[in-house]
Each structure stands twice: as structure tokens, then as C-alpha cells.
A and B are shown apart, each in its own frame.
Chain A
Amino acid sequence: MKKVIVPIGPYHPLLEEPEYFALYCDGELVVDVEWMAGYNHRGIEKISESKHWDQVTFLIERICGICSTSHPIAYCNAVEDLAKVEIPERAKYIRSIVGELERIHSHLLWVGLAGHFLGYNTVFMWAWKYREPILDIMEMVTGNRNHYAMMKVGGVRRDIEDADIPIIRKILEQLKPKLEMLTGAVLDDPVLAARLKGVGVLTAQDIKEYGALGPVARASGVDIDVRRDSPHAAYGLVEWKVITCKEGDVFAKAVVRLLECFESIKIIEQCLDNLKGKKGEISIDVRNIPPGEGIGHYEAPRGECFHYVRSDGTSRPLRHKIRAPSFMNIPTFKASCIGETVADVTIILAGVDPCYCCTERSAVAYDVSTRKKILDGSDLIKLSHEKTGKIRKQFGIKDK
């Protein structure tokens, strides 16, 4: 039978970011998915090599606007691993607070967008309305609604004042009943259940084969969470639990994300308890970065975010490798979309909460034997010029 290609993007009204999907359809059914990247590529890893260790935090914050504190935490972990320093306890708590606040706002953002994709604009408006108080806390604590610039190699940049703590608590206390209402409204709705249950199922086997991470893995019953498995910041010092579900469909992903918000509130409250009335250093001076390698990871709202840095003892990283969680989650579309109808694919694509800005990369062709770059843009232009030159010679036209 003839296959039909349904293109989504690159500039599709449904998507805030430019990316391109080709759905190969057989009637209503999707038989194959193709993804093309590069519309958001900014070359951050390369720019990072030209910046000072302290400046890199500001650069990598701008990898992604939604997980804009996950990347700095992972990077700081990597540099601290390289320099073999331990950050002060107060800084650990503050890191966790900012990280968890970000998780709540990111998950609420996803719930809103998912509601929008399904035609439930009320959910979209509610979720985004309840997200605003979190951004208010962020503005109060860090000075900006997004791009917080809180992290720094060796600690954090700003302290959370004692006077701010009751205000943060009050806002969180007010948020809880609203979150419960939203959770109830989303999870008890019969129409949403009919749309989401059994749609885009990923089994635990799929997760292992594709190496999917974060809420996507946890929704399929794979119990992984970097916060617990390799404790950093204050995650080893407070009580919380990892939320998992067994079903693996989009509904399970929504359940995991919504319930994780409550766990995040729990973590923030415990961290605030530990900050209140105490004084202490919030950062230590890390002056010299020794030569060597360091790795750092952090559980971003979308999964494990991984950073690798290599130093030669100078003030700049020699190599900075970033792997964002969406890079591992996006290939699962091959397992979850195929066999579903076109109408369901939208929510399946949105279900893994893909962040294309994090994931963007460009491809360069290398000759395997000589390790020389072949055929990039300028090479093609050179080839074209050479051919013109040859033809000019054939025609007997002399170069000026």
C-alpha cells in the first residue's frame, strides 16, 4: 500500500520550538517516525571551551529555559568532581531547593501543555496559573523568573534569607490544595483517562533498550532516579521517595509527574527546616582547577542530565560534553508511536516531555582513517568553485 508522509513542523503552531517530524502513515495508522534536528543548534559545547570555568555556568544555563538550573548543577558537580572539593552544607540545601522548585514548575508546565494538546484548555490555564507562584518564589530568591544564575562552582551565588523562608512556606502551603485539585481533576476525568490510558505504551524492556530516563522510565516501572542512586546536593539528607508506575502509557507519565510535584514540595520543606535559624558558608573558593576529567549528573525534570569536563590546568575547559535527558527519550518514539493513530501521536510525542533545545546537535562527517573533516558547508562551496574553475578552463576563459 502507498505510504503517506504527514509532516509536523519545523514551524508548527503546536510546537514552541522548531523541530521536524515525518510521520509515515498507512491510512490512520503510523508506521514509521522520523525526526530531524538542528533548528535550535547554537554550538554551546564549542562556546564553552572559550569561557572561564565560572562563566560557563551562565552559558549552560541558556541551554534550556525550562531546566535552566539542572544543567548548572550537573556542570558544577562535574567541576567539583574534577577539583575534588566538597561544597558547604548550606549550599547543598539551597541547590536542592532551587532544583525542586524548578521541577514543580517544569512538571506543571508539561501538564498544561498536555492539556492543551488534548483540547482541554482549562487544564492549560489552571496549570500555568498555579505555576506562577513558583516563579514568584524564584524571583524572590534568585532575582529572576527563569535563568536563576544561582549555581557556581563551589557552592551557590545567593543565600536564602531567614525572612524569606516563611513567605516561601506560605506560598507552597497555598499551592498544595490547588495541586491536589488539579491532580484530582486530571486523574479522575473519564475523558482524559479514555484518551491517555493504553496510549503510547513503553514496556520496561523498551526503556532498557532505548536507555530512556527520568519520568518516562519511572512511568514504565523502571526505578531509576539519580537523586537517590547517586546522592548529591541535599538529596541524601532528606526523606522522600521515588514515584513509579507500571503501565508505561501517557496516563502513567502524567501520574508520575503530578505526584513528583508533591515529593518536591516535601523536599523543599525539609530543606527550609534545615536552613532556618542557621548560618554558614554558602560557597567556597575554587581557584585552581587541576588537569583531569570530571563527570557530574543531576536528575533534571526530564531525566538524568550528564556533563563531562576535561581540564588541562588552564582557566578554561578543554572539552565540555553535555548529554541532556531528551536525547535518550526522543528515540523511544520509534517504540511508542508506531501502530498508533495520527490523532494519538501528538500526545505521545508530548508525553515524554521532549526538550529539543537541550538535545540539538549538528553532525560532522569525518574520514575514519585520517580523522579529517569532510564535506561541511565550506567544503561544498570549495568543490563547487573548483568545478566552475575547471569548466572555465575547458571553455578557454582565463582567470583574471
Chain B
Amino acid sequence: MVLDLKKKALKKSLFVFHLSTGSCNNCDIEILDCLTPRFDIERFGMTLVGSIRHADVLLITGIGNIKNAGRIKKLYHQMPKPGFVVAIGACACTGGIFREGYNMAGPIDRIIPVDVYIPGCPPKPEAMISGIVRLLNRIK
């Protein structure tokens, strides 16, 4: 019952926390690009927040390297539930070109459960928006 109510509250105005865990910066730039005039996802009420404790969605980019793996887990546990985890980019989804690297602890779904995968290197802002829209549809 309470969970249903919380899920209902998630339908609109998703607050997003962005976490880079050993990426090449490109997915991060494209996430920021979503906020700027051409794509402007703020009109859907989505915004980047400064703390994971305020967030509904955790956006993760990068391979999740050894130094970050513990921190990703910690942040996931700090996220208010129900929350969603979105893996952005080829690295976060599969490890991409860094798959055989010695510093690889990911991909992200080996560290924490992931709800949505948005592949691409980097995914275009349109792809990210479409991913989030699918997530919203799934909540409904």
C-alpha cells in the first residue's frame, strides 16, 4: 500500500543524481546536455540534485572501477527506496572497450541491480530521454 503510494509519487518530477564511476566524461557531458536549451528535460520536472538522499533515480556512467565499487554500493544503500538505477553508456552496461582492463570491477549490474540500460558510446541525449520515458511508463 505504502509502496504503491510511493510509486505513484514517482510518476512525475523525477529527481536525478548523477554518478560517474570511471567513465570518459562523455556520457556525463551528454547528461548535462539534456539540461541545456535544445533538449531541456527540466520541462518534464526532472532535475539534477546534489545529494543521493534527495534523488529518485541514480544515473551511473563508467565502468565502475575497483576504487569506486564500494562507493557505488554505499550510495545505492543511501538512496531512498523505491528508487531506480539507470546505467548510461556502453561502459556501464557491458564494460565496453575497457572490459578486459585490470581496474574493472563492473559492469554496474555486477555491483548493484540496474533497472534501465541505455547503451551507446555515448548515447545521444534523445536516447537518454527515451530511456527515462520508458522507465516512467514502466512505473505506470
- Residue positions of A touching B, CB distance < 8 A: 10-11, 13, 16-18, 38-44, 46-47, 50, 58-59, 62-66, 68, 109, 112, 124-125, 128-129, 132, 145-147, 355, 357, 362, 377
Contact = CB atoms under 8 A, between A and B. Distances in A.
B18 to A, nearest CB: 8
B111 interface: no
B13 interface: no
Contacts of A128: 32-33, 36-37
B45 interface: no
Q: Which 8 A-B pairs have the closest CB atoms?
A: A65-B26, A13-B50, A128-B36, A65-B25, A16-B28, A43-B101, A129-B37, A357-B25
Contact of B24 (A10, A38, A145, A357): A357
Contacts of A362: 103
Interface string B13-30: 000001111111111111
Contact of A62 (B29, B37, B97, B102): B97
Contacts, number: 114
Given A18-B21, A355-B25, A132 B67 contact: no
Given A42-B104, A132-B38, 12 more contacts: A11-B75, A13-B48, A16-B32, A17-B25, A42-B63, A42-B103, A43-B101, A62-B121, A65-B26, A124-B36, A128-B33, A147-B122
A65 B90 CA distance: 13
B81 interface: no
Contacts of B101: 42-44, 46-47
24 contacts: A10-B71, A17-B25, A39-B21, A40-B22, A40-B23, A41-B22, A42-B65, A43-B98, A43-B103, A46-B101, A62-B24, A62-B26, A62-B121, A64-B26, A65-B27, A68-B26, A128-B32, A128-B33, A128-B36, A145-B122, A146-B26, A146-B29, A146-B30, A146-B122
A146 B125 CA distance: 12
Nearest to B63: A42
A355 B104 CA distance: 21
Find the residue from A39, A58, A62 having the highest chain B CB count within 10 A.
A62
A367 to B, nearest CB: 20
Contacts of B24: 62-65, 68, 357
A13 B37 CA distance: 20
Contacts of A65: 23-29, 122
A16 B19 CA distance: 8
State the main secondary structure of chain A at its contact with B: loop
Contacts of B63: 42
B28 A17 contact: yes
A41 B103 contact: yes
A43 B26 contact: no
B23 to A, nearest CB: 7
A296 B22 CA distance: 26
B62 interface: yes
A10 B75 CA distance: 12
Interface of B: 18-30, 32-33, 36-38, 48-51, 62-63, 65-68, 71, 75, 96-98, 100-104, 121-122, 124
Contacts of B97: 47, 58-59, 62
A145 B124 contact: yes
A47 B104 CA distance: 11
Given A39-B67, A66-B25, A17 B20 contact: yes
Contacts of A124: 36
B122 to A, nearest CB: 6
B43 to A, nearest CB: 13
Find the residue from B18, B30, B68, B104 having the highest chain A CB count within 10 A.
B68
Contacts of A50: 100
A377 B105 CA distance: 14
Nearest to B102: A43
A54 B18 CA distance: 33
B29 A16 contact: yes
B30 to A, nearest CB: 7
A58 B98 CA distance: 11
Nearest to A66: B25
B98 A38 contact: no
Nearest to B27: A65
Nearest to A136: B38
B11 to A, nearest CB: 25
A284 B25 CA distance: 32
Nearest to A116: B32
